[in-house]
């Protein structure tokens, strides 16, 4: 009697459906030796998909699952009797023939955080480099290094003659390396290619910051968007990123008797849970406390239109530097270091995973001190 294999879906958390194969009659599990009716594929689709991205993701994931189902059915119902080793080799060959580009896109679609755009951009460059067709068996050190070189030399787009910045290339290549690591864990790659490929080196970037005099000038200068002004100054007093300020809710603000005010939150970028002290002055910027679930900066948005308000505010304060919102975080770091706070403490307050990330600010302080020392010249 032939074994029937059906592709089925099981509702799970996060408005998703987990895809699995249903066997009838039951088959012998190759690892446990026991009978089983189910094999979960580790693939997920969005339940009641509405957006074009979710619909496309569902379509491609279902196609991949259908391919796996068909091959599994063919193998089970073949008259040949395979040894355990032969079955394992068949499985490895089957996985190796699958499309790595499609696998990468599925990984990218799972990143519904601040990293999502970077993953999608990395996918687009990988798709362009391979014309959308790359088997797992085609992945080797030469291909990986060729793709690295491609990122370092390719143009941003057809209309733009400039190449990708080194740090953009680094970010996209890191996503590629992360996908190699995951593919090895999932059994699609026989070797851990990720560990054999060196990353792209990070280029030092210009990090503009404000002096305490410039900050005080901004305090006294009106901004057409008062909420944006408050958020920017709050960033300078706490070192928080825009994404963390935007999602901050009142329930994450806590006062501990004898210790002052704290923010208990999970960082949007690193996902690390932090208990960060803030000054009374920083807290006073926030106004009247509301319900715990309410956002502290309700209505705060990031857009080209809002950036115009920011630039105008900076200009009205008489500041000629190129200042973005993120520069207020840089300002917090440089002012803390220049006022004697040790680099380890600053690193923890910024939520950096590694101390070397914070050391960039220490270099800025050293450069600033050198420039200040050179300002005093005697006529001799």
Q: Please report, for the chain, the start and end positions of each structural domain, with discontinuous segments joined by +.
A: 1-79, 109-203, 212-373
Long-range contacts of 19-22 (CB under 8 A, 24+ apart): 19/43, 19/44, 19/45, 19/61, 19/62, 19/65, 21/68, 21/69, 21/72
Highest mean pLDDT among 78-92, 153-167, 354-368: 153-167
Q: Which pLDDT band, with edges at 50, 70 and 90, does 165 fall under? A: confident
pLDDT at 136 over 90: no
Low-confidence winner among 47-56, 101-110, 161-170, 260-269 (lowest mean pLDDT):
260-269
Higher pLDDT, 364 or 190: 190
Instruction: Provide the pLDDT for residue 371.
Output: 61
Average pLDDT over residues 277-291: 90
In this prediction, residue 342 carries a pLDDT of 83
Find the range with the poorest average confidence among 106-120, 185-199, 245-259, 330-344. Answer: 106-120
SS3 content of the chain, % helix, strand, coil (to 5): 50, 15, 35
CB 45, CB 51: distance < 8 Å: no
Rg (CA), the chain: 27
Greater model confidence, 72 or 365: 72
Give the torsion through C-alpha atoms of 67, 69, 71, 74, to 10 deg: -140
Give residue-wise pLDDT tens across range 75-89. Answer: 777 655 455 545 555
User: Taking CA 371 as the corner, what is the angle to CA 367 and CA 373, rounded to the nearest 5 degrees?
Assistant: 115
User: Above 80 in pLDDT, residue 61?
Assistant: yes
What pLDDT, on the 0 to 100 scale, is given for residue 27? 85
- Give the span between the Cα atoms of 227 and 287, in whole angstroms: 11
The CATH architecture assigned to 212-373 reads: Orthogonal Bundle (1.10)
Question: Do 361 and 334 meet the contact criterion of CB atoms below 8 Å apart?
Answer: yes
Q: How far apart are CA 179 and CA 181, in angstroms?
A: 5
Q: What percent of the chain has pLDDT over 90?
A: 33
Mean pLDDT of 336-347: 82
- Identify the pLDDT of residue 81: 47
Per-residue pLDDT tens digits for 171-228: 899 999 999 999 999 888 888 999 999 998 876 666 788 889 999 999 999 999 999 9
Q: Is the pLDDT of residue 317 over 50?
A: yes
151: tokens are: 């990122």
What is the reported pLDDT for 374?
Answer: 63
Mean of all residue pLDDT scores within the chain = 83
Q: Which residue has the tokens 């290619």?
A: 193
Write the CB contacts of 139 (distance below 8 Å, at least 6 apart in sequence).
Answer: 100, 180, 183, 189, 193
| Helical spans, DSSP H, in the chain | 52-76, 84-96, 100-109, 116-130, 141-153, 166-185, 193-196, 212-219, 226-238, 242-247, 280-284, 304-316, 326-338, 343-350, 355-373
Host H or E run for residue 249: none
pLDDT of res. 177: 95
């Amino acid at each position: 009697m032939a074994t029937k294999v059906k592709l089925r879906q099981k509702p799970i958390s996060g408005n998703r459906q987990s895809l699995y194969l249903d066997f009838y009659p039951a088959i012998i599990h190759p690892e446990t030796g026991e009978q089983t009716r189910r094999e979960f594929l580790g693939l997920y689709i969005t339940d009641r998909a509405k957006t074009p991205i979710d619909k496309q993701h569902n379509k491609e994931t279902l196609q991949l699952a259908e391919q796996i189902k068909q091959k599994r059915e063919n193998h089970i119902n073949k008259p040949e009797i395979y040894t355990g080793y032969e079955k394992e080799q068949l499985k490895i060959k089957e996985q190796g023939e699958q499309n790595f580009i499609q696998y990468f896109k599925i990984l990218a679609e799972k990143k519904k955080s601040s990293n999502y755009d970077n993953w999608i951009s990395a996918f687009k460059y990988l798709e362009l480099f391979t014309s959308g067709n790359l088997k797992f068996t085609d992945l080797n050190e030469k291909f990986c290094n060729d793709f690295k070189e491609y990122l370092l030399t390719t143009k941003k787009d057809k209309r733009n003659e400039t190449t990708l910045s080194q740090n953009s290339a680094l970010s996209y290549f890191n996503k590629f390396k992360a996908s190699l690591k995951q593919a090895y864990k999932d059994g699609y790659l026989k070797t851990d290619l990720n560990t054999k490929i060196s990353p792209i080196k990070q280029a030092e970037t210009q990090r503009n910051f404000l002096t305490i005099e410039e900050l005080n000038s901004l305090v006294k200068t009106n901004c057409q968007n008062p909420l944006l002004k408050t958020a920017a100054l709050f960033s300078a007093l706490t070192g928080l990123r825009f994404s963390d300020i935007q999602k901050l809710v009142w329930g994450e603000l806590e006062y501990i008797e004898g210790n002052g005010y704290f923010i208990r939150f999970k960082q949007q970028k690193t996902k690390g849970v932090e208990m960060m002290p803030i000054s009374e002055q920083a807290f006073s910027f926030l106004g009247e406390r509301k319900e715990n679930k309410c956002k502290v900066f309700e209505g705060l948005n990031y857009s080209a239109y809002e950036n115009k308000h920011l630039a105008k505010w900076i200009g009205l304060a008489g500041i000629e530097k190129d200042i973005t919102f993120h520069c207020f975080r840089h300002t917090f770091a440089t002012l803390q270091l220049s006022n004697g706070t040790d680099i380890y403490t600053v690193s923890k307050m910024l939520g950096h995973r590694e101390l070397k990330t914070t050391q960039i600010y220490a270099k800025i302080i050293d450069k600033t001190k050198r420039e200040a020392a050179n300002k005093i010249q005697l006529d001799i």
